[in-house]
Structure 1
């Protein structure tokens, strides 16, 4: 892959609302601008009593506003329990995520990083990888892991997988849309210097861009690429 056009049909898998914007909001905006159909799968929903219904509804409304701003083609919402995926049989998680992957039939899958501190991220990654097994010629041609502020950097890299990006996508022209989409999540945005802040998100994009002589970029770990 050396052009964004090569990504083809895209499915971004997010454990929770806002992960997809934090990880690849600029890429999604750029793809949509260039005529690609970008689908998002949100795997979990907060369940009471841990997550009050009013709060869940608010986050979902924020997500829809952000996705409209990014011109997402379709948002697929599952009702798996947030912060409790480890209580659900793996076969059920695999089946529900697999059904969406099969229906969308993406050329490119964007997944949460398997080394994130939040257990839901690892489970969603694993389930999506099960769905993406190359058993036929419509298996995703490429699988990229994105980084999520406050999840990817907060585990224990000396003893857990470290996020080592090897793919960078130029988002200089769509960074502001990414930041605006994140601002839609008013319930989730934190004041700087907390990592899940607008300032930190912009700083990460500028840093990732400067790594490869771009004004702004999103960075990914390439898990698998099939050249046909």
Structure 2
């Protein structure tokens, strides 16, 4: 996952732009979210209502790991029910580390392999993997190409899970914006997934769309599968020489809850 500290332009105030600056060290701690009663009181949604029986779940992942971070529990539950799942790898995550990193040359193959291993942990090794091969960090520049590619892949009956359109990362926001356009144009249902939003937003700041948020709970076995899947992303959770992990413990803490939150 490429960390870009300058968020993509959206139609918001300068103050809001500053609030969406991604700081992996000093972001909103999970303890802050857990102290928020609104999070605990979110309405729960049943899996069969979120993804109706005859629909395919399509998870749009700007980078390898986004599908597990935001939807790992969902994927594990659907896989256990033998439901149809497609994971769209928009990029291969090849720019998550600088060129000086010992991992840099290996990332184009390493990161997709980590994603595949994570899906195996989730019990979804048979999920369909669709690779768009859009350059990591340049999805906004290739938005028309990506949109045309997605039009050829999606069905009107699909339930599309895409990053929140205000997630704070330009690649995430562009994918979310395209998914919203395709919901209108193709009829496929969009479900937005906060990922980096957990790290920059504040529970009481007014940025978080509480009115659209719903919670999908899962059992202890599913939670364990997701934790194991997250550990597959060695390139992202391990130190890179003297560099801190791309996904430090404070960020990962948002994704080991026994539920996932979706915006409907």
TM-score (norm 1): 0.76
Q: Is 2:122 the counterpart of 1:74?
A: no
Greater mean deviation of Cα atoms: 26-35 or 184-193: 184-193
Q: Is residue 45–residue 214 contact of structure 2 (8 Å, CA) maintained in 1? A: no
Partner residue in 2 for 1:60 = 112
Partner residue in 2 for 1:225 = none
Greater mean deviation of Cα atoms: 7-16 or 157-166: 157-166
Q: Distance in 2 between matches of 1:99 and 1:166?
A: 30
Work out which of the residue numbers 32, 40, 44 in structure 1 matches 2:91.
44
Partner residue in 2 for 1:152 = 197
Match of 1:35, SS? Answer: coil
Unaligned 5+ segments in structure 1 are 206-215, 223-228
Q: Distance in 1 between matches of 2:206 and 2:149?
A: 27
Displacement of 1:109 in angstroms is 1.2
Partner residue in 1 for 2:159 = 108
Q: Which has the higher strand share?
A: 1
Partner residue in 2 for 1:226 = none
Match of 1:45, SS? Answer: coil
Encode CA deviations 1:62-121: one digit per residue, 9 max, x unaligned: 111112222152111111111122332x3212112222224xx54311110111111001
Q: 1:106 to 1:174 in 2, by over 3 A?
A: farther
Q: Is residue 132–residue 146 contact of structure 2 (8 Å, CA) maintained in 1? A: no
Larger Rg: 2
Q: Distance in 2 between matches of 1:50 and 1:161?
A: 31
Identify which of structures 1 and 2 has the higher relative contact order when contacts are C-alpha pairs closer than 8 Å and 6+ apart: 2
Q: Is residue 62–residue 186 contact of structure 1 (8 Å, CA) maintained in 2? A: yes
Displacement of 1:19 in angstroms is 0.6
Partner residue in 2 for 1:4 = 47
Displacement of 1:60 in angstroms is 1.2
Q: Is residue 41–residue 75 contact of structure 1 (8 Å, CA) maintained in 2? A: yes
Encode CA deviations 1:44-71: one digit per residue, 9 max, x unaligned: 1345796633122111111111122221
Q: Is residue 115–residue 162 contact of structure 1 (8 Å, CA) maintained in 2? A: no
Partner residue in 2 for 1:86 = 140
Q: Is 2:149 the counterpart of 1:96?
A: yes
Match of 1:188, SS? Answer: helix
Greater mean deviation of Cα atoms: 11-20 or 78-87: 78-87
Q: How many residues align?
A: 200
Displacement of 1:33 in angstroms is 0.4
